[in-house]
Amino acid sequence: MPFSSEARRDHHPGVRSAYEHMARRNPDEPEFQQAVLEVLDDLSPALTRHPEYAEQRILERLCEPERQLMFRVPWRDDQGQVHINRGFRVEFNSALGPYKGGLRFHPSVDLGVIKFLGFEQIFKNALTGMNIGGGKGGSDFDPKGRSDAEIERFCQSFMTELHRHLGEHTDVPAGDIGVGAREIGYLFGQYRRLANRWEAGVITGKGLEWGGSRVRTEATGYGSVLFTQRMLERVGKALDGQRVVVSGSGNVAIYSVEKAQHLGATVVACSDSAGYVVDDKGLDLDLLKQIKEVERERISVYAERRVGARYVEGGSVWDVPCDVALPSATQNELDADAARVLVRNGVIAVAEGANMPTTPEAVQVLREAKVLFGPGKAANAGGVATSVLEMRQNARRTSWSFQHAESELAETMSDIHDRCEEAAERYGAPGDYVLGANVAGFERVASAMLAQGLI
C-alpha cells in the first residue's frame, strides 16, 4: 500500500520514514499496512508538538511487535483424520499493561491479519484509560460445521502451546470472530489443567459461574450503540426513531441490535458472509438469538421463519436504506461504493462495531458527506473495557450486578467519546473522531514508552 496517495496534510518526515520502514519490513501484510497507515496518517501534528517522539523513534518501535508467536496446532476430527492448523499470538505492546486482546478462529487468519488487529488493539486499549497493553491471536482453523467435540479438541491443542505464554500479569486473551463462550470454556479448562492453577484473570469472557462478568457478552454491541448515541447527542439528535442497519449476525451484531432497540431504534437488516435479511417491521431479537446463538444456523433461516422478512443472497447489506449503519462483521466490508449508497440514502451516522470494517476510501466518502463516523478503536472498545471489569472482579473475588456492570460500561463509553472529542478539538479538527481516537490513543502509549526508556 503506497503511503497516503491522497494525503490529507503534509506529513512530518518522521511519520513518512516510519511508515516506509514498516512497509519495507512487512511487504506481504496488506491489512497490517492499512491499519498502520490509518493511524500514522493522523500523527504528524503530534510529532511536530513532541519532537522527542521522533528522536526516540517511538513510531518505529510501535510498529514492531514486542513478541510474535507462531505454532503448530495438530488435532483429530471425528472421523479420525489429522489436521494441522497454525496458531498465532502477537504480543504487540505492553507499555500500559499486560497484553490484552482477543483470539480469532477464521480461515482468513494469517500473521498480517493478527498484526493489524494487535496494532489497533494498542490504541483502543489506551483509549479506555485502563492499564492494558495490546495483543491479538488466533488460528486459521475454520469452526464452521465442526462438532462440539472437534471444537473442544482444537481448543485443547491450541492452548497446550499457548498456555506457557499467558498469565494475568503477562497476556490475557478473550474472544473475537469464531471464539465465544463455548471456546473460552474449553480454553480456560485446558489452561487450568496445564498450569495447575485456577487463575481467573488469565482469560476473559468466562461463564458467569466460573469468574465471568455480567455484560461481557453484550458489551461490544452495547458499547458501540452507546458511542453512536453520544455522537448523535452532540449534534442534537438521538437514536430513538432511527432506522438502523447492522452487518454480521454474531456476538457484536446481536447485542448492537438489542441496545439499539432499547434506545427506540428500528433495526431493519443484518447479515452473514452469505447474504442479508431485511425485516421492515424491525428484527425479532428472540428469533435472531435462537437461530444464531442456540442453533448456530445461517441468517437465511431467519427469513424462512419470520413472516414479512426476506433474504437476499450475496449483495450488500448497505443497499438497505438507513439513518444509522453499524458495520459489525469483519475488516473492509464497507467500501467506497457502499459508502456512496449510504450517503445517497441519507445516512447520518456510522459506527464501527467490527475492527477496520470501513475501507480508507469509504471513510473519505463519509467524511466529505459530513456523516458522523465512530472508528472501531473507539466505538467497539466496550468489549475490551468490560474484559477489564471482569479482571477487576476476579482480582477482588467478587461479582457485580448487571446494572452495576452496565453503568460502568456506559461511563467508559462516554469517557472514550469525550477523549476523542477533546483530542480532535485540541488538534484543530472538531468532530473528527478518527483523528481524535488516533491521537488520544497514541499520546497515552507514546508518553508511557518514553517514560519507560528504550525497551
CA distance 79 to 64: 42
Give the shortest CB-244-to-ligand NDP separation in angstroms: 16
- Which of ligand 2IT, ligand NDP, none sits in contact with 178, Cβ below 5 to 8 A by type? ligand NDP
Whether 136 is a known active-site residue: answer yes
Residue that the C-alpha cell 510529532 belongs to: 47
For 59, half-sphere exposure in the C-beta direction (CA atoms, 13 angstrom radius) is 30
Q: Any alpha helices (H) in 71-180, and if so which ranges?
A: 111-127, 148-162
* Cβ-based nearer residue to ligand NDP, 90 or 449: 90
CB-based contacts of 131, cutoff 8 Å, min separation 6: 96, 97
Q: Which amino acid, residue 394? A: N
Considering only residues 206 to 225 of the shown chain, the ones binding ligand NDP according to CB under 6 A are 220
- Which of ligand NDP, ligand 2IT, none sits in contact with 93, Cβ below 5 to 8 A by type? none
Q: Any alpha helices (H) in 283-359, and if so which ranges?
A: 285-289, 300-305, 336-344
Considering only residues 360 to 389 of the shown chain, the ones binding ligand 2IT according to CB under 6 A are 383-384, 387
Closest residue by Cα to residue 7 from 44, 32, 36, 62 = 44
User: Is residue 101 a contact residue for ligand 2IT (CB under 6 A)?
Assistant: yes
Give the shortest CB-392-to-ligand 2IT separation in angstroms: 13
Q: Any alpha helices (H) in 146-284, and if so which ranges?
A: 148-162, 181-195, 216-234, 251-262
Q: Give the per-residue contact string, 389-428, with ligand 2IT (x = CB under 6 A; - = no).
A: ----------------------------------------
- Which of ligand 2IT, ligand NDP, none sits in contact with 251, Cβ below 5 to 8 A by type? ligand NDP
CA distance 344 to 342: 5
**250 is written with which cell numbers?**
454474531
Stretch that binds ligand NDP, among 84-92, 150-158, 350-358, 422-430 (CB under 6 A): 350-358
**292 is written with which cell numbers?**
444464531
Residue that the C-alpha cell 484509560 belongs to: 129
Our separate counts of H helices and E strands in the chain read 18, 12
Give the shortest CB-384-to-ligand NDP separation in angstroms: 6
- Selected catalytic residue, list 115, 136, 259, 292: 136
**345 is written with which cell numbers?**
440514502
Q: Which of 251, 358, 393, 438 binds ligand NDP (CB under 6 A)?
A: 251
- Which of ligand NDP, ligand 2IT, none sits in contact with 204, Cβ below 5 to 8 A by type? ligand 2IT
Closest residue by Cα to residue 98 from 81, 79, 73, 121 = 121
Residue that the C-alpha cell 447527542 belongs to: 233
Give the residue ranges of the annotated binding site for NAD(+): 220, 251
- Which of ligand 2IT, ligand NDP, none sits in contact with 377, Cβ below 5 to 8 A by type? none
Q: Which of 101, 138, 212, 353 binds ligand NDP (CB under 6 A)?
A: 353
Give the residue ranges of the annotated binding site for substrate: 100, 121, 124, 175, 387
Stretch that binds ligand 2IT, among 96-104, 271-279, 309-317, 439-447 (CB under 6 A): 96-104
User: Is residue 184 a contact residue for ligand NDP (CB under 6 A)?
Assistant: no
User: Is residue 174 a contact residue for ligand 2IT (CB under 6 A)?
Assistant: yes
User: Is residue 273 a contact residue for ligand NDP (CB under 6 A)?
Assistant: yes
CA distance 182 to 217: 12
Active site residues: 136
